[in-house]
């Protein structure tokens, strides 16, 4: 028996667009009957490659073989004729038609001159059953949710005889439960001998559903046919971004003897008189990062708000340098050099519809360079925003765009840049890297290290335990409003820290 031919073989595919090489010398082999995941960062060239395989784009160089035979695909119709089907990121269904009408549209089975609806309905039923793609052929598409619509798209492709199914980021539009359902469908398709090409940039998905994984980076495949049982998500992430992932870590100590913040017996009560911060005493020295670990909702937000003066203290004192600031307003604290990276950058850190330079002024409206004498200095604010954009590597088309136009990582860099201007002495950083990409995360860690090295006292609150352990000189655990343990960040493991946070650990 001759060796089985791969379902698809792409060789030396190159595709250029004006100013960008979207695919460069790509080699990729897809075997029959496998779920093959293609992963890569946004812009890596995944969709372009799939469009080439689906006849929507012509490659500038390279060859496509399908079942061992060379194929020239000028249009999607050519690809469909060769058994290649694609489900797009954005669905292309007609809302006012039924599932059945959508599925057969353009490929209607005929009996004489008439559309043979009975035959179509029977085939759709048969396919739905064979592949576990449950959907009623007679309902209007407009009544369907996203998961069902996706199943209709898949049926549509199968109806045209596809044996290789391309799904471009199919999970982007789904909720977790629908993702599970889709993965179930993909496994059924595979069981029926179909081949699935699954595109994603989500590592956990790729690892859970794929039989084999290929990684594309900057237009080229950097690894192909990886075994998901043999590769870790960390290694996969490294392949995607192209370097060793930066780690949160501090090198030599910069901790001094000067106490910058000294909190004594601080308590904050709820309206009902229940303590949410309960007798907290904490010191942060210049050049020191003090980490605070805790399950969310154990008083860390209220503690920060008390330090910032957003909330009053019901007992205890807050001393900042020489000053007892317990009764000070937030504005006065900020003017005295307390910088704050808030926990929810969308609600408290930024005005999303405001321009970058307007956001530069936020919380600093009374400070230079945003004011000159009694007047707002827009030019000063703009000039300083340009400086922040440059110094903090904020990727933006300009300083007039709204903050909403920036990615989360770039928004956060803007906030850090703003908070670090004006010579602060204390930085409160609440979840500074939450929800941002690895590049921006590494940049924020570097800014924290620089702040520490320049003598700032830093209070770091985070749910990322590796970040806390790596970036803290001193690490406290907060539970039900009390500091219940101090652990050694040099030796503690995330597991030990996790149990201390729930009160389960036997830490003193």
Ligand X SMILES: Nc1ncnc2c1ncn2[C@@H]1O[C@H](COP(=O)(O)OP(=O)(O)O)[C@@H](O)[C@H]1O
Q: Which residues bind ligand X (CB under 6 A)?
A: 17, 20, 22, 40, 42-48
List 324's β-bridge partners, or say none: 319
CA-nearest of 338, 330, 307, 319 to 425 is 338
Distances (CA, A) of 508 to 31, 461, 482, 484, 500: 57, 21, 14, 8, 9
The nearest distance, CB 482 to ligand X, in angstroms, is 47
Can you give the binding site for Mg ion, defined by CB under 5 A? 47
Residue 199: CB minimum distance to ligand X, A = 7
- Alpha-carbon span 456 to 97, nearest angstrom: 64
Shortest Cβ 207–Mg ion spacing (Å): 20
CB closer to ligand X out of 222 and 371: 222
Nearer to Mg ion, 41 or 343 (CB): 41
Instruction: Indicate the residue among 54 and 357 with the shorter CB distance to ligand X.
Output: 54
The residue among 38 and 304 lying less far from Mg ion, judged by its C-beta, is 38
Residue 249 CB, nearest approach to ligand X (Å) = 31
Between 43 and 494, CB nearer to ligand X: 43
Give the integer Cα–Cα distance in Å for 162 and 8.
13
Strand partners, 39: 200, 215
Q: How far apart are CA 100 and CA 97, in angstroms?
A: 8
In contact, 136 and 103? CB cutoff 8 Å: no
**What does the alpha-carbon distance between residue 324 and residue 319 come to, in Å, rounded to a whole number?**
4
Residue 48 interface partner, choices ligand X, Mg ion, none, CB cut-off 5-8 Å depending on type: ligand X
Distance of closest approach, residue 150 Cβ to ligand X, in angstroms: 18
Give me 148's structure tokens: 């069902």
Pick 179 or 216: Cβ nearer Mg ion: 216
First-last CA distance in the chain: 70
For the chain, state the CA radius of gyration: 29
Q: Which does 44 bind (CB under 5 to 8 A by kind): ligand X, Mg ion, none?
A: ligand X
What is the Cβ-side half-sphere exposure of residue 176, based on CA atoms within 13 angstroms? 1
Q: Least separation, in Å, of the C-beta of 337 and Mg ion?
A: 45
Please say which residue, 44 or 381, places its beta carbon nearer to ligand X: 44
What is the C-alpha to C-alpha distance for residues 195 and 245, in angstroms, rounded to an integer? 33
Look at residue 396 and give the partner it binds from ligand X, Mg ion, none, a contact being a CB closer than 5 to 8 Å depending on partner kind. none
Supply the minimum distance, in Å, between the C-beta of residue 3 and ligand X: 32
Nearer to Mg ion, 89 or 317 (CB): 89
Q: How far apart are CA 324 and CA 334, in angstroms?
A: 14
* 28 and 197 Cβ atoms separated by less than 8 Å: no
Q: In angstroms, what is the minimal distance from the CB of 40 to ligand X?
A: 5
Residue 175 contact among Mg ion, ligand X, none, beta carbon within 5 to 8 Å by kind: none
The Cα 423–Cα 445 span in angstroms is: 19
| Complex with ligand X: residue 45 or 369, whichever CB lies closer | 45
- Give the number of residues written for the chain: 508
Q: How many Å apart are CA 469 and CA 66, to the nearest integer?
A: 51
In the bound complex, what is the minimum distance in angstroms from residue 76's beta carbon to ligand X? 15
Burial zone of 193 (CB within 10 Å; 0-12 exposed, 13-18 middle, 19+ buried): exposed
The entry of ligand X, Mg ion, none near residue 13 (CB within 5 to 8 angstroms by kind) is none
- The secondary structure of the chain in percent helix, strand, coil, rounded to multiples of 5, reads 35, 25, 40
CB of 57 to ligand X, least distance (A): 7
Which of 198, 340 has the CB closer to Mg ion?
A: 198
Sheet holding 164-168, edge to edge: 84-87, 164-168, 195-200, 35-39, 212-217, 220-226
Residue 45, classed as helix, strand or coil, is coil
């Amino acid at each position: 028996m001759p060796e089985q031919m791969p379902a698809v073989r792409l060789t030396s595919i190159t595709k250029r667009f004006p100013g960008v090489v979207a695919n460069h010398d790509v080699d990729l082999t897809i075997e029959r009957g496998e779920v093959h995941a293609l992963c890569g960062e946004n812009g890596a060239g995944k969709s372009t490659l799939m469009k080439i395989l689906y006849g929507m784009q012509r490659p500038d160089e390279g060859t496509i073989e399908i079942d061992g035979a060379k194929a020239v695909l000028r249009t999607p119709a050519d690809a469909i004729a060769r058994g290649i089907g694609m489900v797009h990121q954005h669905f292309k269904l007609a809302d006012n038609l039924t599932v059945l009408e959508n599925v057969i549209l353009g490929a209607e089975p005929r009996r004489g001159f008439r559309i043979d609806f009975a035959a179509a309905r029977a085939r759709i039923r048969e396919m739905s059953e064979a592949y576990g793609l449950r959907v009623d052929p007679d309902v209007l598409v407009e009544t369907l949710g996203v998961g069902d619509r996706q199943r209709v798209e898949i049926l549509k492709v199968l109806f045209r005889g596809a044996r290789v199914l391309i799904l471009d980021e199919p999970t982007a539009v789904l909720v977790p439960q629908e993702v599970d359902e889709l993965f179930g469908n993909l496994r059924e398709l595979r069981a029926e001998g179909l081949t699935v090409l699954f595109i994603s940039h989500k590592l956990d998905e790729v690892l859970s559903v794929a039989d084999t994984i290929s990684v594309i980076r900057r237009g080229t495949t950097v690894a192909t046919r990886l075994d998901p049982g043999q590769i870790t998500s960390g290694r996969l992430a490294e392949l995607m971004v192209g370097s060793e992932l930066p780690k949160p870590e501090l090198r030599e100590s910069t901790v001094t003897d000067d106490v910058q913040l000294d909190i004594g017996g601080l308590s904050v009560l709820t309206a009902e008189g229940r303590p949410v911060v309960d007798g907290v005493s904490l010191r942060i020295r210049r050049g020191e990062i003090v980490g605070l670990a805790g399950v969310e909702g154990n008083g860390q937000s209220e503690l920060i708000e008390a330090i910032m003066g957003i909330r009053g203290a019901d007992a205890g004192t807050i001393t900042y340098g020489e000053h007892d600031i317990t009764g000070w307003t937030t504005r006065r604290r900020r003017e005295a050099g307390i910088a704050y990276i808030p926990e929810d950058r969308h609600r408290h850190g930024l005005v999303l519809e405001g321009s970058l330079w307007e956001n530069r002024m936020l919380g600093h409206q009374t400070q230079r360079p945003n004011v000159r004498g009694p007047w707002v200095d827009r030019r000063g604010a703009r000039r300083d925003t340009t400086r922040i954009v440059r110094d903090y590597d904020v990727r933006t088309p300009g300083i007039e765009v709204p903050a909403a136009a920036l990615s989360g990582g770039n928004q956060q860099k803007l906030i850090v840049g703003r908070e670090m201007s004006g010579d602060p002495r204390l930085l409160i950083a609440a979840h500074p890297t939450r929800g941002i990409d690895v590049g921006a995360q590494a940049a924020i860690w570097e800014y924290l290290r620089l702040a520490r090295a320049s003598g700032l006292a830093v209070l770091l609150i985070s749910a990322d335990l590796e970040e806390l352990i790596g970036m803290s000189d001193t690490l406290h655990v907060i539970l039900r409003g009390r500091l219940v343990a101090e652990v050694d960040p040099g030796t503690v493991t995330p597991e030990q820290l996790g149990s201390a946070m729930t009160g389960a650990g036997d830490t003193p």
